[in-house]
Every structure is written in structure tokens, then in C-alpha cells.
Amino acid sequence: MADEKVKKGSYSAADITVLEGLEAVRRRPGMYIGTTGPDGLHHLVWEIFDNSRDEAMGGFADDIEVIVLPGDVIRCADNGRGIPVDQHKTTKVSALETIMTVLHAGGKFGGEGYKVSGGLHGVGASVVNALSTEMMVEVHREGGAYVQEYAKGKKQYAVKRLGSSKLHGTATTFKADAEIFTTTTVFDFDKIVSHLREQAYLVKGLRITIIDAREANIKIPKPGSQLFIREAFSDCPSQTFYFEGGLRSLVSFYNRYQKPIHKNIFYIEKDYIAPGGREEDSVEVEIAFQYVDDITSRIFPFANNIYNLEQGTHITGFRTALTRSLNAYGRKSGQLKESEENLTGDDVLEGLTAVVSVKLREIQFEGQTKAKLGSVEARAAVDSVFAESLAMFMEENPDDARAIISKSILALKARKAAKAAKDSVLRKGALEGFGLPGKLSDCQSREPEESEVFIVEGDSAGGSSKQGRDRRTQAILPLRGKILNVERARLDKMLASQEIKNLILALGTAIGDVFDLSKLRYHKVIIATDADVDGAHIRTLLLTLFFRHFRPVIEGGYLYIAQPPLYKIKKGKEVSYAYSDEEKVKILGTDSALVIEGEGEEGEALVEEVDDAKSKLPKIRIQRYKGLGEMNPEELWETTMDPARRVLKKVDIDDAIDADHVFDILMGEDVSSRKNFIQSNAKRANLDI
């Protein structure tokens, strides 16, 4: 039997698959760009842009142009040195072709091509090439203009010389392959603008222009004629960024909707050479921060101008130095009494907006998407440079230092109060599923994968949904009125709110430093509020709560918004539900001219009947729903709770930084910013009046 098993599971050289060229990238794109969804699609833009940005970081370029052309084709041009086109001694083809068609080939592995770059993988350009149906690279260099085109990573011809040129730089044009990016190949212009704006702050003196030319009906100049083509699209939506202030300006931008608690923004830019190290191996450290009147922290880490979503060694060094320095100054100044405990890392982070940027020659990321910095030397560099400069800053700015220490001491006291409140509320039994709130009508299933909870507004909706639900898998949690706005509320105040306490206990994850996503009791958490102004407000308050305190629930794909119908339409014996005004018109068809709608004096929905005998059309009845409580259990099941027929919208976070700013504006105390935001975005809102 053992011999037979070995024979069936034979494993020899014949079983080894060798993928030629860039075929490996097309087979396993997720290994190189993280995902083939929208984030991976935009990662293509970042990879090509990073090559141009690296030229600017090296001092060889000061102008980058990114254009989204018709058909969602991306063109990125810079006035750098231009990719070399001479023959490569190993591959025996041009350096341009080598870079674009061979993995791990580029000017970032050694030599003097780049002192600092966005990464040493050398796969960026070739990966984008592999995942594009068409790609063209135009090079202006050493008096000549050159071009080469590719399709799905394969060259279409050898590098061509187009003629002489006085320009210098590179222009790369590509179209993402719909076979790879099956979700969408449509680029989000706002997402591109947000990302590249950040890059303009990070590279002082760099001009970045972004143009949305998808609606343009303009003939694009032929390759070789010019490098930048922005003048041809002067009537298209565009943004241009140029900043001399560096990270200091970026912190001001992040805090534009916040109230600073100290006047001066801390800033340091310095090269760090390790003891006994060489000057060429120095680490460039640039840090800016400012505390604001808020309870959340915002730390933005960058390594070689790549944003590190999962932070890394540089942030470890930053947090260590910050905590140590503030404790030392607090003791020295007498603000921290001998009887008081030290400030913790969490205490000193509260209300902090900081940008930490390091640049290293030999850089190591954990994964191709560069989400986390792994370079060990970055920790010591940031710790040393930051600690020394922060001590000097506090000595020179005693008022600022006093405000910062006071802010951290307040956080320490609040943390202790919150811990006491949490310990009294989130008992061990409650965390394990006992002591569930009395308002919760739980489901019978104890399997989170098949269980869902509807968070509904008020007892009326709660009653209908309890009767209409599938008791085996669907739980109902009614909330009374509007919950606390948690945007500026500390944990102890939140836990004093019975409605929030009920929600925490129902979810089972706990909150704060003991939050545990694995204990989430339902893998569908569904917000089901009424389709009116109050319902929208309650929904926004709940979204704020989840974004600030249960973000892993959103990131895990567990949070949804129910879409109950707006209308019930009965034509004769035929009953239909419309979820929008457009859908209502479509259901009514040509009969819509006969329909009269309205509301009563108290705002209750009216039922209108039309019976035109002359036209011999069927009787039409339209009921306008304002709330879930107006539906009987059968209607609620049919339209909002039945998994086979309902409409749910999954809540996700496309850009956490932008989302953070939106919640700051909408839920914070700055009335003028909120008013301006609402006015500027009014046309994009779906109004239900």
C-alpha cells in the first residue's frame, strides 16, 4: 500500500513548472501587488510614479505629470535622466527592455544609480508591464528620443530611435488588463490626487501635476515630439502641487480641521551615522508633529517616501523616544509628581499628529507592497535623532512643552478612569457571552459565520423585525434614540451610555486595549435605520463609533448597511418594492402620469389610489415608507431581512486617512468646516426629502 501511495503522489523534475519571463506575475499577481481589486489597480500607478519620484529624490527631476487618459489609460512623465537605452552586458538587449521585461532588474540594487529609492525589489515597472494589456515607454536621453511598446509583459519590437531630442526624462503609458483586474479597471481620480499630494509634501521642491482627461476628445501628441503634454489638456480637471515646507506643511494640512494645543510645529531633518558607521550608509531622518485637542492619534510613517500602512521599525524608535523624552521633561519640570506613575506610550500618543520619514540606501520592506519597514537601523536612527532634537525643542519652547505634558497627563488620568469603568462593565462573564443586554433578541445559532445582528432604531422597528426574522440566524438589537457622538468622547464616558454598552456586549469583542475581533459573535453586523433625516443621523453616529473603536470589524468586511425600500407599489394584484425614485418610475412605466403622491400634515406617508376608468389601467396604490416600524413583519422580511431578496451595502474604508478627515469634519466641533464640507459635497448627496 505504501508503494502504491508513493506512485500516485509521484514528485519528480517533470512536476516542476518553469514560468518564462513575467508569466509568474500574471499567474500570481497578488504576490506582487497585494490584491487584484481597486487597491491593487491603483498600486500600478504608485509603482510607475515611484520611479519618477525616485529621480526627484536623487535631485535629477523636479517635475512629474500624471494623466488619466480616455479608456483609463495612465501616462506618467518626468524630467529626470531618462532610462538608459544602451545594451545591457548580461541580457544583451537594451537596459530599457531589461528593466521592463525582467523581474529584479533595475538601477536600485547597487552601484551609483540611486542613493535612495522606493525599494530594492526591482520589480515595479516589470510587474506593471506584466499586468497591462498595452504599455509604452518613451525615453529622452543624451540627445535622442526612444520608444518601446509591450503587451502583457512581452516586447512588441526592439527599442526604436525616434530622432534627436533636447529633452531628458521618461514617459510611461499603460492600460491595466481587465483579465487580471476583474473587479474594475476604472481609476479613482480623487484617490490618485490624495496619494500624489502627499508625495509632493514629502519631496520639497517637486512639482506634481495630475490631470483627469478621460472625457477629453484630443489627439495625443506622437511619441518623441514632447515629454510633457499637459498643455493639450488645459480644459480638463487638474491639480498641481508644489510645497517648500516639507513635513511641517504636511502636518498643518492634516490638522486643518483640528484645534492645536501648542503653537510651534516640531520639525527636524538630520542625517544619522551609526557609531563606527560610514557616511554613505547614513539614514536621513525627517520628523514633524503637533498635538491637537483630540483623543485619537494620527501617525503617518514613510520610508523612502513609501507610506507604511503597518508602520515598522522607524515608528518603534519614534514611540520609544517620545515616551522617554516626555517622561524625562515632565519629571524635570515638576509637572509629573514623584507620586505619579510614568506616562505610557498610549498616553503620549493621544491627540498627536506626526509624520515620520526615513530614507535609507539599503532598505528592507516586509513584502512587495511595502506596508511595513523592516530595516533594523531605522529604529536606532529615529530614536537618537528624535530624542536629542525633542529635548532641545522643549527647552527652547517651554510653553509648548508645558501644553504637551499637560495633554499627556490628562490622557493618563482618563486612561485610569476608563480602565476602572471598563473593568466594572466588561466583566469576564460578559466577554464570554453571558450577561447579554436584555434588549437583544439573540439568534439560536452560536456560529458567527452564519449569524447576523440587525441594529434597528426604536422599539417599533424592533418589534416588527423580531417577528419577521429568521430566529435561527438573525438577532435584533433595538437602540433607543440617538447614541452618543463618540468622536470626542473618552472610553469612560462611552461606557456610561447604556446604548453603547448594550452594543459592545452584543458584539462580544470588548473595546479598547482588550478588543478581540475573534470573539465577534456575528459576521454580519447590519445597521438598519429609517430613511429620514433622523435615521441618517443615527447611521452616521453608529458609523463613527465603528470607525473609531471597532475599525477591525469594518476592515474584516463584517459591517453592512441595510437598504429598506422607499415605496411599496401595488398595480392590481401585483406588488413591487422600489428602493429609489428611479426604480419607482421604472416600475410604474407609462402609468406614472396617473400617480399622485404626498405627505400628511404630521409627515405620515399617504396611500394614493388612482382608478381611471377611461384608460382602463389597473388601480395603482403607492405607499411611501418613512421607517422600518411602518412595515409589518412579512414586508420587513421580504424587503430587508430575507438573504435571497434583500439589498445590503458593505461598509469599507478605501482611504483611512481621508475617512479620518471626513469624520473629523462631520462629527467634530468646527462648525465652519462642517458647513463648507456639506456645501461643497451637496451635489453628490442622495437626498430624501
Among candidates 102, 71, 24, which has minimal Cα distance to 178?
A: 71
Q: What does the alpha-carbon distance between residue 630 and residue 622 come to, in Å, rounded to a whole number?
A: 14
pLDDT for residue 640 is more than 60: yes
Q: Is residue 645 part of a domain?
A: no
Give the three-state DSSP class for 469. Answer: coil
Beta bridge partners of 212: 68
Residue type, 687: L
Q: Domain boundary residue among 192, 215, 241?
A: 241
What is the Cα–Cα distance from 537 to 620, expressed in whole angstroms? 33
CA distance 308 to 668: 27
Residue 337 shares a structural domain with residue 308 = yes
Question: What sign does the CA torsion over 673, 679, 684, 687 have?
Answer: positive
Q: Is residue 7 part of a domain?
A: no
Q: Strand, helix or coil at 138?
A: strand
Same domain, 297 and 173: no
Give the least confident one: 364-373, 466-475, 625-634, 670-679.
670-679
20 band by pLDDT with thresholds 50, 70 and 90: low
Lowest mean pLDDT among 197-206, 320-329, 345-354, 602-611: 602-611
pLDDT at 367: 67
Q: How far apart are CA 30 and CA 49, in angstroms?
A: 20
**CA-CA distance, 384 to 379, in Å (whole number)?**
9
Q: What is the mean predicted confidence (pLDDT) over 340-349? A: 93
Judge residue 166's burial from the number of C-beta atoms within 10 Å of its C-beta, 0-12 exposed, 13-18 middle, 19 or more buried: exposed
- 93: exposed, middle or buried (Cβ count in 10 Å: 0-12, 13-18, 19+): middle
pLDDT on residue 653: 79
- For a pLDDT cut of 70, what percent of the chain falls above it? 82
Give yes or no for residue 369 having a pLDDT over 80: no
Residues 34, 70, single domain; the answer is: yes
Say whether pLDDT at 615 is over 60.
no
Look at residue 471 and tell me if it is in a domain: yes
- Tell me the pLDDT tens digit for each residue of 72-121: 999 999 999 999 999 888 888 899 998 998 886 655 444 555 566 654 33
d(CA 406, CA 411): 9
For residue 190, pLDDT beyond 50: yes
- The verdict on residue 646 lying in a domain is no
216-235: burial string, b at 16+ Cβ within 10 Å, e else: beeebeebbebbbbbebbee
Q: Is residue 280 part of a domain?
A: yes
Q: Which residue has the higher pLDDT, 23 or 67?
A: 67
Whether residues 275 and 355 share a domain: the answer is yes
> CB-based contacts of 158: which residues, under 8 Å, 6+ apart?
93, 94, 97, 148
Mean pLDDT value of segment 506-525: 91
pLDDT of residue 477: 95
Distance CA 232, CA 217 (A): 10
Query: 162 with 275, same domain?
Result: no
| Residues known to be catalytic | 457, 530, 532, 534
CATH number (domain holding residue 169): 3.30.565.10
* Pairing, β 524-528 against β 452-457: parallel
Total structural domains within the chain: 5
Q: What is the pLDDT of residue 596?
A: 44
Task: Give me the mean pLDDT over the 323-327 stretch.
Answer: 97
Whether 15 is covered by a domain: the verdict is: no
At 164 the pLDDT is 94
- Asked if 147 and 205 sit in the same domain, the reply is yes
Q: Are both 415 and 266 inside the same structural domain?
A: yes
Q: Are 139 and 146 in contact (CB under 8 A)?
A: yes
pLDDT for position 546: 92
521/578 same-domain check: no
d(CA 391, CA 233): 50
Last residue of a domain, one of 511, 543, 563: 563
Amino acid at 417: A
66-70, 240-244, 563-567, 583-587: range with highest mean pLDDT: 66-70
- Angle formed at CA 633 by CA 630 and CA 639, multiple of 5 degrees: 80
Claim to verify: residue 210 and residue 260 sit in the same structural domain? no
The last residue of one of the domains, among 537, 563, 589, is 563
CA distances from 323 to 267, 356, 408, 419, 616 (A): 17, 15, 10, 20, 80
Q: Same structural domain for residues 548 and 681?
A: no
Q: With a cut of 90, say whether residue 378 has pLDDT above it.
A: yes
- Model pTM score: 0.66
Q: What is the DSSP letter of 662?
A: H
Residues 547 and 608 in one domain: no
Cell numbers standing for residue 267: 520639525
Please compute the mean of the pLDDT values over residues 227-241 and round it to a whole number.
Answer: 94
Averaged pLDDT, 235-258: 91
Count CB-CB contacts under 10 A for residue 449.
Answer: 9
Would you call 39 helix, strand, or coil by DSSP?
helix
Measured from the Cβ of residue 447, the count of other Cβ atoms closer than 10 Å reads 10
Please list, in sequence order, all residues whose beta carbon lies within 8 angstroms of the beta carbon of residue 633, skipping any fewer than 6 positions away: 464, 465, 467, 468
- pLDDT over 60 at 357, yes or no: yes
DSSP 72-126: TEEEEEE-SS----SBPTTTSSBHHHHHHHSTT-STTSSTTS-SS-S-S---HHH
Q: Could you give the CA distance from residue 203 to residue 194 in angstroms, rounded to a whole number?
A: 15
Per-residue pLDDT, 675:
52
640 assigned to some structural domain: no
Of 656 and 627, the one with more pLDDT: 627
- Is position 17 within any domain? no
Can you give the residue range of the structural domain that contains 465? Answer: 428-563
pLDDT for 428 equals 41
Confidence at residue 314, expressed as pLDDT on a 0 to 100 scale: 96
Average pLDDT across the chain, whole number: 84
CA pair distance 109, 19, nearest whole angstrom: 23
Q: Are residues 34 and 92 in the same domain?
A: yes
The CATH number linked to 503 is 3.40.50.670
pLDDT of residue 122: 43
How far, in Å, CA of 520 to CA of 504, rounded?
10
Over residues 127-140, mean pLDDT: 96
48 pLDDT exceeds 70?
A: yes
Locate 59 and state its grid cell: 535631485
**What average pLDDT score do residues 218-222 get?**
84
Q: How many helices (H) and strands (E) does the chain have?
A: 22, 23
Q: What is the mean pLDDT of residues 59-80?
A: 96
Residue 24 corresponds to which cell in the numbers above?
A: 509568474
**More confidently predicted of 683 and 105:** 105
The percentage of the chain sitting over the pLDDT mark of 90, rounded to a whole number, equals 51
pLDDT band at 620 (very low <50, low <70, confident <90, very high): confident
Q: Across residues 316-337, what is the average pLDDT?
A: 96
Lowest mean pLDDT among 198-207, 325-334, 512-521, 578-587: 578-587
Phi and psi angles of residue 645, each rounded to the nearest 5 degrees, phi first: -125, -15
List the strands of the sheet with 306-307, edge to edge: 266-272, 283-291, 352-359, 298-303, 306-307
What pLDDT, on a 0 to 100 scale, did the predictor assign at position 319? 97
**What average pLDDT does the segment 315-340 reach?**
94
